[in-house]
A and B are shown apart, each in its own frame.
Chain A
Amino acid sequence: MPADRPASRMVDIWELVARQAAGRQARVSIADVCAAAVTATAVSGAALTAVTQAGGIHLMYATDQISERLAGIELTLGEGPRADAVAFGGPVLTSDLAHGDAAAQWPAFAAAAREAGAEAVFAFPLQVGAIRAGVLQMYRQQPGPLSAGAFGDALLFAETATLVLLDAAAQGAPGTGPGGQPIELGLHRAEIDQATGMLTEQLGTGADQAFARLRAYAYAQDRSLSDVARDIVERRLRLEPDDGLTCGGGR
């Protein structure tokens, strides 16, 4: 990614997503994230697959028929960039499906995807550490890599989609903070991840629920996520399994 990338780009990304939702007169959903991502990164289409509670894979949304077909092909064949992105824990970028590498990696998928109309596919895992929520996959009808800017944007759209998905999965957790913006626009801090890990023990839940509760608590208290995380890590604050919002000291 370019070194001069402004940190505020995440705010721009969120605004693009929010504008999509406003156009539909609805709350922000993954449909808005997919639509905004397609426009901003100049790809032909995008689809989002999510991991269900039972561990299955479910197509949540596709911006167009080819995207939908690609997801179907991957789920049927059990091979392709989607599965690799999950296994690898990072983006899988295939700028030319006609190239020998892609054919060697996924013989059946590469052929079927090209037949469906895709020449390049880019898969971004929706993840926060060990939390795996799904995959955002984009395609292009012409071969060619994502530009550095488009790649950076795609990562931020994937981050946004992750939060929207996790909040939708965790009942009652608000998806947006004050002003309709996601509350973790702040800097990434190791304390947030450590606190998430601690909460899995305190709450007896998975990391996805723990992370959602951490964010919900920060939102309800109108405090920054890293601030609350620090209180948890320094053991000034504990959350309890039942009522998540009042326990321990705070500041």
Chain B
Amino acid sequence: MDGRLLSDTFVELADTMVVGFDVIEFLHVLTDRSARLLDAAAAGLLLADSRGELRVVAASSERARLLELFQIQHDQGPCLDCYRSGEPVTVTDLSAAAGRWPRFAAAAGESGFAAVQALPMRLRTQTIGALNLFRSSTGTFDQADTRVGQALADVATISLLNERSLRRSETLNEQLQTALNSRVTIEQAKGKLAERLGVDMDEAFELLRNHARASNRRLSELARAFVDGSEKLPGISAARPPESPRRGGKPDPPH
């Protein structure tokens, strides 16, 4: 592992975690850096909702196929096992996991992934979700990498506590719901912008995210204002011509 990259990552994450920070944007940065730092092709964070089902809240790429791969794990896969047991789940060769998780293993293979790791997001006795890492080649996950991955999962958990006062014991449950709902708002905003501009969902996400950054606004607040009509986004336009829905067999590259 690149020590410089590791320290830069933690400095960047700490810098992002200031008063009034946007937890969803933070988690996006975290998944993005996790993928880069841990040599993963893709990374995502999943949180359990009120029904105890896992939902993706942030990912290193918004490609539909990747999001689907996270979504499948409400039903089966390393994240579900990790969430239920509260323990890390590592699979060094996904082709050998077809018996354990038939749908997940097949979908991961189709996306070009060969190995996967799920690390628990834990606070005391409660497991609230998992950090999911995908690699495009088989092989063991280095112990030092796994420790860093777990530290990143812990930082993600802490970030959910950070937005409101730490004195409140009830904060985590409150914030978890807010994060899940923020993600819903972002999906609604993606849909609205994708329809308006005739672009696909991942491009709509990039446009929203770039606009939020350029105008120094929280992504989730911009998304909410755009959906409720108070923000019109007049200057925003498609960066590339419209595409048909993605159906190709290409792996999702690192973001």
Contacts and interface: CB of A to CB of B under 8 A. Distances in A.
A159 B181 CA distance: 12
Contact of A145 (B49, B170, B178): B170
A104 to B, nearest CB: 10
- The binding surface of chain B is classed by DSSP as helix
Contacts of A10: 51
Contacts of A201: 192, 195-196
A93 B127 CA distance: 20
B187 A1 contact: no
Contacts of A112: none
Contact of A101 (B168, B175, B189, B193): B168
Interface stretch (A25-33, A149-157, A216-224): A149-157
Ranked 8 nearest A-B pairs via Cβ: A197-B191, A90-B178, A193-B187, A155-B50, A129-B184, A130-B227, A194-B191, A5-B52
A179 interface: no
Given A3-B48, A3-B52, A187-B74, A197 B188 contact: yes
A91 B52 contact: no
Nearest to A127: B181
Contacts of A101: 165, 167-168
Contacts of B187: 129, 190, 193-194, 197
B241 interface: no
B185 A129 contact: yes
A200 B173 contact: no
A159 B51 CA distance: 11
Nearest to A10: B51
Interface string B191-209: 1111110000100000000
A130 B187 CA distance: 10
A188 B49 CA distance: 9
B50 A1 contact: yes
B137 interface: no
A89 interface: yes
A156 B191 CA distance: 25
B59 to A, nearest CB: 11
Given A3-B86, A101-B168, A193-B185, 13 more contacts: A1-B48, A3-B83, A4-B52, A89-B178, A90-B176, A128-B181, A129-B184, A129-B185, A129-B188, A130-B185, A155-B50, A197-B192, A233-B245
Nearest to A9: B51
A194 B194 contact: yes
Given A88-B174, A91-B174, A207 B228 contact: yes
